[in-house]
Amino acid sequence: MQILFEDKKLWNIVSKTYVKPISNFVEWDKKDKKAKTIIVMGLHDFLFQNVIETKRTKETWDCLLKYMKVKV
């Protein structure tokens, strides 16, 4: 998935290397929602249940990583 996010120029949102700007929050929020949508659309129902209450992309991504580490 990282390659997809890099291609869409969204990896910095997922990896949290992009700092949320104070002056241009609308642009950041739009990218955050786009990245989270990509993640959620690629999930099976049983994984979706683990991230349903997350608010931001980074939180969703970290939740999935945590789930996968426990299962591996």
The mean pLDDT value for 13-29 works out to 79
- Those residues whose C-beta lies under 8 Å from the C-beta of residue 60, and which sit 6 or more positions away, are 36, 39, 40, 51, 54
CB 32 within 8 A of CB 5: no
Instruction: Read off the pTM.
Output: 0.79
The mean pLDDT value for 1-13 works out to 90
The mean pLDDT value for 43-52 works out to 90
Residue spans of the domains in the chain: they are 2-71
